[in-house]
Amino acid sequence: MKLYINPNREEWPAIVSRRISSDEAVESRVVEILDKVRTGGDAALRELAQAIDGYTPESFVVSDEEFTRAEAEVSEQMKQALKSAAENIRKFHSAQRFEPIEVETAEGVRCIQRAVPIQRVGLYIPGGSAPLFSTVLMLAIPASVAGCPNVVMCTPTNKEGRVANEVLYAARMCGVQTVYKLGGAQAIAAMAYGTESIGKVDKIFGPGNRYVTKAKQHVSVGDTAIDMPAGPSEVLVVADHSAEPSFAAADILSQAEHGPDSQAILVCSSKEFADKVESEVQRQLALLPREAIATRALDNSRTVVLESVDEQIAFINLYAPEHLIILCREPWEIANRITAAGSVFVGAYSPESAGDYASGTNHTLPTSGWATAYSGVNLDSYMRKITYQELSREGLMGLANTIITMAEGEGLDAHAAAVKVRVGKENQQ
Amino acid sequence: MKLYINPNREEWPAIVSRRISSDEAVESRVVEILDKVRTGGDAALRELAQAIDGYTPESFVVSDEEFTRAEAEVSEQMKQALKSAAENIRKFHSAQRFEPIEVETAEGVRCIQRAVPIQRVGLYIPGGSAPLFSTVLMLAIPASVAGCPNVVMCTPTNKEGRVANEVLYAARMCGVQTVYKLGGAQAIAAMAYGTESIGKVDKIFGPGNRYVTKAKQHVSVGDTAIDMPAGPSEVLVVADHSAEPSFAAADILSQAEHGPDSQAILVCSSKEFADKVESEVQRQLALLPREAIATRALDNSRTVVLESVDEQIAFINLYAPEHLIILCREPWEIANRITAAGSVFVGAYSPESAGDYASGTNHTLPTSGWATAYSGVNLDSYMRKITYQELSREGLMGLANTIITMAEGEGLDAHAAAVKVRVGKENQQ
């Protein structure tokens, strides 16, 4: 990990910058795939599945038999783990339920805000070497709590045409009835535009590779909402001298194993502590099956020594980490001053993996500095808030002069007229 | 207005489709402007202001003198109107304040969700023939209620280099200290990238012409969050036989006067009623200063006769109107079944202009069917929700098997190790 000792503020922007390579080849391939699916529907999906995944399912829909087999093949230990995690996730997301707000802003003027579930939601679950079934819980449980009536999931198969058992088991456990065997940019296209067999959705959620991410970006401009912009995963660990270096090292490595473009940042107050963490990282790294991936991620990773806590906090807020782990004696003194982070792990016994799987918080979080403006996935992500106003005749009378003055000031006379016609001022200029 | 009598469901998609012309010329010009500002900073802004607006201010920042003059020149009547509207808007948005949520999901596992204001917010207020000062209230008041510490505003000048008095007066009234004399795509670029004199912001709000909208789309992919995708304004009026045709007509016209690409839809249960509204539209249209604009907007507008209330509701939800006006005897019977709309105007005395200016609800709302997935601007739009988790050692012990089982099932051994190192299971496989 590259070491920066007391860097001055002018250097910070370079240290916090994520190097995200833009790839013209990915861009043009994705545009081509989106176009094919939009115009070619199911036939295009079949062709693309064969060309890209090397497998075309007879039907994209996972059958009841496949669900049943998955249930039979998942171990009892895994079922118990999924059940425990799901309970916590459901509890925390249920607590986020929104109560309607009603205010009489002026006499006879009622303003109301209510949350209504998004009607058609599409979840994308990546496949690949390790199926991320935890993401099924994180995306499907809040959809269920929100009451979204139509929830579908797309996920790629392996070359034998199978979806991981845990993914199917988790999907059913969380109330997802329809799973399509479909991955990549073509899955995003199918959910954004709809085809003969796959219905268009209103919002797409979920992580993915560069093709999936780029496809989500494209459809978000004109077709379908998406959860948030995505980038490689990242963690910032801030530690004081009370911290156990082996804990900090383990947290850094659990980020690094995600992929070669993951990033871990350690912020601490002395080079001595930084050195201790570094040697723990090397020791633990050697024990990891994914050592090669983690080693490459560590090349992107940085240690920043900043002596003052104020400077540390300013640096963290500038970086706006997806995950922030606070290994300090008084962790809330820092946590309370954080203005930009996805999820915060407070104190020595709150590793990122707790939130990744089972504490109850969501693990779909803003990366690449987007925590400055985006929340992680939460119950709100599955709802829209609609406002309502109901004025009595007297209520409108009371506002009439205000509305008419402002509308005429903006040159919008028909806006004024819509009030005048109701309150008997139609002939008044 | 084009009339559809009991169209069948197959025809609905065509009726609800918005014809939004994509304009290659706008696209390429916007890309060029964004690029210039990103690489050229203030110098590029000056050059573009001269080329596009025909005026380059000495400084982009509105001076105290200009604010003072604006205050002196705004009429007392207008000040009173702005004050009344602002009070209602502040009341309703203050009622949307979010209380932290805290749940102990399992023993020793605390999960917390809090709202934190977005730190740097940029508001765009269009200029042009009629300055939309009401939008200043709608964007700046929730920013103030949210507690966003840095709020800046960009707005174009007229050819004499002046910003409308009402815009400046409203900005100060709502606590916006910094206003830049800068419009168009170049203003969006300045706020998204930052220049020598204009700071980068985290999120950009506000309406604009096609250049502004396209620029917001572009920067939203990789640089800065935006409020929502934008399109031409629209209203859907649903009326039963109890409704006053002149009210429906006035509401349709107040939408139509916004611009030639605005759209109004009337949904009612008989051709007789539709005819009455149509003749009221023609009568009132002749009285409007903006008759020419409104006439063109009426060419995009439609009357849909659907006899059953269930069909009407299904049609409204498919259209997902920005504004929905319900002129029915029992308006809540419809309002309660709406799943997609920006803001709903309930009953005979709730014209759209009430919410456009003064009832308290926000008028920055999702258009073009985006109400299926987006909320209008509300207090949430200025905040992010951060989650926190704090586990005791016992809390982590309780979740350890769940986390380790799931992490190892996903092939993420370092995730499991980050738990094991903390609970003394480091040597356990």
**Confidence bin at B50 (pLDDT 50/70/90):** confident
Shared domain check, B416 and B341:
no
B331-347 pLDDT per residue, tens: 999 999 999 999 999 99
Shared domain check, A368 and A419:
no
Chain B residues whose beta carbon lies within 8 Å of the beta carbon of residue A148: none
Q: Is the pLDDT of residue A345 over 90?
A: yes
Strand order in the sheet with B2-5: A101-106, A109-117, A383-391, B343-346, B323-327, B234-239, B263-268, B302-305, B2-5
Q: Which of A202, A226, A250 is where one domain is finished?
A: A226
* Gap from A391 CA to chain B (nearest CA, Å): 5
Q: Rounded to the nearest 5 degrees, what angle is found at the Cα of B414, between the Cα atoms of B409 and B415?
A: 60
Q: Is position A241 annotated as part of the catalytic site?
A: no
Per the domain annotation, does B182 fall within a domain? yes
Average pLDDT of every residue of chain B: 94
**Confidence bin at A429 (pLDDT 50/70/90):** very low
Do B359 and A105 count as a contact with CB atoms less than 8 A apart?
yes
> Which of A262, A266, A270 minimizes the C-alpha distance to A324?
A266
Quote the pTM value.
0.96
Per the domain annotation, does A385 fall within a domain? no
Per the domain annotation, does B327 fall within a domain? yes
Shared domain check, A170 and A253:
no
Q: Which contiguous run of DSSP H or E holds residue A405?
A: helix A393-409
pLDDT at B291: 84
Could you write out the DSSP letters of every residue in B384-400? EEEEEEEE-HHHHHHHH
- Whole-complex ipTM: 0.96
B108-123 pLDDT per residue, tens: 999 999 999 999 999 9
pLDDT at B20: 67
* Gap from B172 CA to chain A (nearest CA, Å): 17
Per the domain annotation, does B6 fall within a domain? no
> Catalytic: which of B258, B322, B352, B363?
B322
B136-150 pLDDT per residue, tens: 999 999 999 999 999
Q: Which of B185, B201, B226 is where one domain is finished?
A: B226
pLDDT at A263: 92
Q: Is position B323 annotated as part of the catalytic site?
A: yes
Shared domain check, A360 and A420:
no
pLDDT at B429: 43
For residues A358 and A295, give the distance between their C-alpha atoms in angstroms, rounded to a whole number.
27
For residues B298 and B281, give the distance between their C-alpha atoms in angstroms, rounded to a whole number.
10
Shared domain check, B204 and B342:
no
Mutation target vs A (from B79, B406, B419, B423; most A CBs, 10 A cutoff): B406
> Catalytic: which of B323, B330, B390, B415?
B323
Per the domain annotation, does A352 fall within a domain? yes
Do A116 and B339 count as a contact with CB atoms less than 8 A apart?
yes
A305-322 pLDDT per residue, tens: 999 999 999 999 999 999
B232-286 pLDDT per residue, tens: 999 999 999 999 999 999 999 999 988 888 899 999 999 999 999 999 999 999 9
Shared domain check, A209 and A70:
yes
Longest dimension (CA), chain A: 85
> How many contacts does A have with B, using Cβ atoms within 8 A?
417
Per the domain annotation, does B11 fall within a domain? no
- For strand B263-268 and strand B234-239, is the pairing parallel, antiparallel, or unpaired? parallel
Q: A129 by DSSP, 3-state: which?
A: coil
Shared domain check, A185 and A46:
yes
Per the domain annotation, does B205 fall within a domain? yes
Q: Is the pLDDT of residue A129 over 80?
A: no
Q: Is the pLDDT of residue A428 over 70?
A: no
Shared domain check, B361 and B291:
yes
Structural domain for B290, as ranges: 231-375
Q: Which of A170, A200, A226 is where one domain is finished?
A: A226
pLDDT at B53: 78
**Confidence bin at B297 (pLDDT 50/70/90):** confident
Percent over 70 (pLDDT), chain B: 98
Amino acid making up residue A366: P
CATH code at position B66: 3.40.50.1980
Chain B residues whose beta carbon lies within 8 Å of the beta carbon of residue A165: none
> Which of A165, A182, A152 minimizes the C-alpha distance to A59?
A182
Average pLDDT over every residue of A148-155: 97
For residues B329 and B231, give the distance between their C-alpha atoms in angstroms, rounded to a whole number.
31
Per the domain annotation, does A332 fall within a domain? yes
Nearest chain A residue to B18 by CA: give it: A222
Mutation target vs A (from B76, B80, B370, B390; most A CBs, 10 A cutoff): B390
Structural contact between residues A267 and A237, judged by C-beta atoms closer than 8 angstroms: yes
Six token digits for residue B28: 């390429």
Burial class of residue B160 (count of CB atoms within 10 Å of its CB; 0-12, 13-18, 19+): exposed
Shared domain check, B247 and B353:
yes
Shared domain check, A264 and A220:
no
Do A392 and B229 count as a contact with CB atoms less than 8 A apart?
no
Do B250 and A417 count as a contact with CB atoms less than 8 A apart?
yes
Average pLDDT over every residue of B392-409: 97
Q: Is the pLDDT of residue B129 over 70?
A: no
Q: Is the pLDDT of residue B44 over 70?
A: yes
Domain count for chain A, please give it.
Answer: 3
Nearest chain A residue to B368 by CA: give it: A222
Average pLDDT of every residue of chain A: 94
Structural contact between residues B93 and B145, judged by C-beta atoms closer than 8 angstroms: yes
pLDDT at B344: 98
CA torsion sign, A290 to A291 to A294 to A296? negative
Shared domain check, A257 and A355:
yes
**Confidence bin at A233 (pLDDT 50/70/90):** very high
Shared domain check, A91 and A40:
yes
